[in-house]
Amino acid sequence: MMWTFAWQNLVTRPSRTTLAIIGLTIPLLAFLGLFSLSRGIRDLMGNTLTKMQDLQVIRQNSPSPVFSDLPSDMADKIRKIAGADVVAPEVWKISPPIDGKGGVGAMALGMLTKRENSLKGIANLVVIEGQDLPEHLKLKNAVFKGTLLPKEKGGGRFLTLEDIGKSNIVISTKIARDFPNADGSPKTTGQTMHIGGQEFTIVGIYETGSLLLDITIIMDIGVARKLLGVGTDTVSSIHVEPKTAADGDALADRIMSAIPGVRAQPISQFDLSIGAIMGKLDLFLLLAVTLATLVGGVGIANTMLMSTMERYVEFGVMRTNGWTRKNILILVTTESALLGLLSGAIGAMTASVLVLVINRFLNGFELDLSFGLIVTSFAVALMIATLAGLYPAWRASRMTPMDAIRKSGTM
């Protein structure tokens, strides 16, 4: 009965109630939107590389190995630099069409036809990594080897020295899904894939969880050269493992001073710098959103204060009918808590719908609105609104019934 009464008190002043709710819903939406964006970015990066102290050497101004080329003999130069342990050259290129789909050509064609297709094309981009297997197998911190699915889940095996010169590949679960069998089931080990018209056998399947990495098909460097048309005199990048992990940064400096025109950086750095930026971003977002939420709370306090002052006489009448101070306190607090619940519900629903709609237009990147985020925003709304209602409620409960009744004009 208290709840229905409180509810009635809100619905009989619809515009004021709506405004108070909007005032709290907007910061909640901002909270949910910004944090699902931040989570989305994190998902994209994954955490795979975070612990990697190994270095990646690429040409100085290349954004990524795919667009880098280095002379093959650079590997020997790096081996001579003190502190370098394993030096593993690799070839990276965007994949030619797979099973007749995708590839650079298809991408370009897609861009010419439909915007949506071009987005899909970018999302379905696949790159080939050709590994110098004798060297790569010596790495203690290989990027993909450790993320192979377990045997019982169809992970198969990683490449071995046996695979040199053979058309065997290791692919990600994403690629297995994106290029399925005729019946729609994902590819499994033992099955084949046509890359650039050539037949390859899948021997292993990995999953790093990073959308930036899970687009890679791994094969022997020699096979990759033939497939991609890369001569033996060039490589894309060189994976360098330092003798001691702590020496990583110093080794990078030594490499860059010994060999001009290259960039050597920890593989983790990309992830780390993103992580640091995201951490700062989160803090900033939290600050901004907290301020906005407080403003929303002040709006609710103001609304409740106005509505309790208007009802001063009515509270007096309730007191003359046996309502206790506590009853009045509960009524007013219930009203403001209801405002919080409504704001929370509307915020959560609007955010869910918006994220669904926005994600339909995004490809490869998704806003990540977690259940935890929704629950948090709900709790915050409820808490802020309840707290905001406490002062008005306390004031309403403290008036003396006699004064209130006199205000009604029966003096």
Partner 1 sequence: MPNMIEAIDVDKSFLSGEDTVEALRGVSFTVPEKTCTFIVGPSGSGKSTLLYLLGALDRPTSGTIRIADEDVTAMNESQQDVYRRNKVGFVYQSFNLISNLSCLDNVLLPYIPSGVTSELRDKAVELLKQVGVGNRLKHKPSQLSGGQQQRVAIARALVKDPVVILADEPTGNLDRSGGDAIVQLLRSRESTLLVVTHDRRFITPDDRVLEIEDGLLKTNC
Ligand X SMILES: Nc1ncnc2c1ncn2[C@@H]1O[C@H](COP(=O)(O)OP(=O)(O)O)[C@@H](O)[C@H]1O
Residue ranges binding Mg ion (CB under 5 A): 411
Cβ-proximal residues to 340 (8 Å cutoff; 6+ apart), any chain = 24, 300, 381, 382, 383, 384, 385, 386
Residue 11 binds ligand X, judged by CB under 6 A? no
> Which residues are at the interface with partner 1 (CB under 8 A)?
1-2, 5, 8-9, 12, 313-314, 317-325, 327, 330, 400-402, 405-406, 408-411
Closer to Mg ion by Cβ: residue 137 or 405: 405
**405 neighbors 314 (Cβ within 8 angstroms):** no
**Residue whose pair of structure tokens reads 């009045």 in the numeric block:** 328
Least distance in Å: CB of 319 to ligand X? 15
Least distance in Å: CB of 403 to ligand X? 6
Closer to ligand X by Cβ: residue 162 or 403: 403
The contact mask relative to ligand X for 368-407 (x = CB under 6 A, - = no) is: -----------------------------------x--x-
Closer to partner 1 by Cβ: residue 8 or 185: 8
The gap between the terminal CA atoms of the chain, to the nearest Å, is 32
Quick one: 113 exposed, middle or buried, by C-beta within 10 A (0-12, 13-18, 19+)? exposed
Least distance in Å: CB of 285 to ligand X? 52
Closer to partner 1 by Cβ: residue 187 or 311: 311
Least distance in Å: CB of 329 to ligand X? 23
Residue 411 binds ligand X, judged by CB under 6 A? yes
Least distance in Å: CB of 333 to ligand X? 28
Closer to ligand X by Cβ: residue 232 or 410: 410
Alpha helices in 203-266 (DSSP H): 221-228, 248-258
CA dist 11 and 16 (Å) reads 9
**199 neighbors 167 (Cβ within 8 angstroms):** yes
Quick one: 2 exposed, middle or buried, by C-beta within 10 A (0-12, 13-18, 19+)? exposed
Least distance in Å: CB of 315 to ligand X? 17
343: left (phi over 0), alpha (psi -120 to 50) or beta: alpha
Would you call 259 helix, strand, or coil by DSSP?
coil
Query: Token pair for residue 247?
Result: 């020496």
Would you call 192 helix, strand, or coil by DSSP?
strand
Closer to Mg ion by Cβ: residue 154 or 401: 401
| # chain residues binding ligand X, by CB under 6 A | 3
Least distance in Å: CB of 406 to Mg ion? 8
Closer to Mg ion by Cβ: residue 61 or 410: 410
Cβ-proximal residues to 1 (8 Å cutoff; 6+ apart), any chain = none
Binding site for ligand X (CB under 6 A): 403, 406, 411
